[in-house]
Amino acid sequence: MSESPWWRGAVIYQIYPRSFMDSDGDGVGDLPGIIARLDHVASLGVDAIWVSPFFRSPMDDFGYDIADQCDVDPMFGTLADFDALLARAHALGLKVMIDQVFSHTSNAHDWFRESRESRDNPKADWYVWADANPDGTPPNNWLSIFGGPAWKWEPRRRQYYLHNFLSSQPDLNFHNPDVQQATLDYVRFWLDRGVDGFRLDSINFCFHDAQLRDNPPKPEALRIGRGFSPDNPYAFQYHWYNNTQPETIGFIERLRALMDGYADVAALGEISSEDSLATTAEYTSPGRLHMGYSFELLVDDFSAGYIRQTVQRLEAAMDGWPCWAISNHDVVRAVTRWGGGTAGAAFAIQMIALVCTLRGSVCLYQGEELGLAEADVPYEALRDPYGITFWPNFKGRDGCRTPMPWTGDADAGFSDGTPWLPIPDAHRAQNVAAQDADAGSVLAHARRFLQWRRTQPALRTGSIVFLESPEPVLAFVREQDGARVLVVFNLSASPVEWHLMQDAHPLDGHGLPMGGIRDGTLQLPAHGLYFAALDAAD
């Protein structure tokens, strides 16, 4: 392995297959569609793609409910299509990461169908089963993220099974060594096929408390978090026992040992716990995951102080390597969540530059390079069970999952059929073809910046030190092998000034509109930014 492996400081472009490109006219994106549009991804200057689940599934949770971890759902194509995708990506210089969902399966999986039939079959202990309380109620107070109890009664066994997500997503019993081995076996299947890494969905949910202890209540003032508004009872508890158990570490180390037998591959863990930063630091210690991916920048909080405090806390705690994202398929797009949806191109450009200059690797979600805002999907068009359950206070995840707009046509160049989710007029107006032809577009700026970033070792793998600055100024220095880069953002919609304490030499070539220095004062326009080389430290 090289001194700096490909994943360290990489920009990873997330593709949500259902919504990227439809090749067969059924209104749903697929693997051949991804292949047809990979040139666009490569043109951005990213290092890798992360492809969300395309495995065989009933699609209750749109692929995160897997019925066969080693096969492609016919909706998306075939294993041969995946091999062609892998080959085309590699020919374009792109690494390929795929999702792996360890903690649960679909209830249509052969493992679960066998497990539910009796208490003494070969897979009886492959899922989390528990007897009812004497009064017939579930064995404890654990709750599902999607609302209501995390237990469902199975009359064949006369027991409850655990589901941290939908009731059709039963949790596997990772205390059973056979389950761990079966998981490692299908990881090996994809490694042998040539993938370059994995994004590990809900990795801290693999193990549960074997004693099935109740979770303690959480005070009302603390009922906050990603999607966990007071309307969702999941926010009412400290989730100390239904996830993030100490046994997870041993399994992660087994996974890493397997992956170390392959050249230049990486594991990126998705982590959402009561203290996600601490868990990320723990899970990315030497010999564990290569990178950790948490939700601290996927929340509603947005200020220079919050970002600085979040990154500093993780930096102080971890020996490993972080990965940052501000949008994905589960949360409101950042242009809306942080910018209100009306901030415009300057804000969208700034957000890309911000997440790509923090120390760590980066996940960019499809459409961020276009500056797409959250889509407003009407109730009658919703597909997400999470949104349908909690409508109208929480509208679910469909608004960030609408299809990519490739052209300004009625179907946005996405499909010859009816798209599975409606495509907003505003998205069609921001289509790839139009932005390709506009040197001042968000897409054009994103391309120039990402390609320039690849030439800046300090921004890819350097250290980070934050500078004292008042709101709304976020300032830090990235340093690598003596090269020091000053990075400054004005996170507000009004111009600001900030006094520089040392000489700085503006860095050109990134193609982004910058502020300027006058009489030792940095003047930043609304949503402005500034990159400069600093003299070597004393």
Catalogue the active-site residues.
Answer: 201, 270
What Å distances lie between residue 299 and 92, 261, 307, 328, CA to CA? 34, 37, 11, 11
Contacts (Cβ under 8 Å, ≥6 apart) of 273 = 204, 239, 243, 244, 279
Residue showing tokens 């990235």? 478
Surface-to-core class of residue 449, CB atoms within 10 Å of its CB (0-12 exposed, 13-18 middle, 19+ buried): buried
Tokens of 146: 């999607």
The rounded distance, in Å, linking the Cα atoms of 16 and 18 is 6
Contacts (Cβ under 8 Å, ≥6 apart) of 156 = 116, 117, 118
Closest C-alpha among 287, 201, 293 to residue 249: 287
DSSP 124-174: TTSB-EEPPPTTS--SS--B-TTSSBSEEEETTTTEEEE-SS-TTSPBB-T
Could you tell me if 205 and 103 are in contact, meaning their C-beta atoms sit under 8 angstroms apart?
A: yes
The rounded distance, in Å, linking the Cα atoms of 534 and 501 is 11
Could you tell me if 279 and 204 are in contact, meaning their C-beta atoms sit under 8 angstroms apart?
A: yes
Residue showing tokens 């309307």? 231
Could you tell me if 512 and 529 are in contact, meaning their C-beta atoms sit under 8 angstroms apart?
A: yes
Q: In what order do the strands lie in the sheet with 496-499?
A: 496-499, 521-524, 516-518
Strand ranges (E), 275-382: 291-293, 321-324, 361-365
Q: List % helix, strand, coil for the chain (3-state, nearest 5).
A: 30, 20, 50
Task: Give the ranges where 372-418 is alpha helix by DSSP (H).
Answer: 385-390
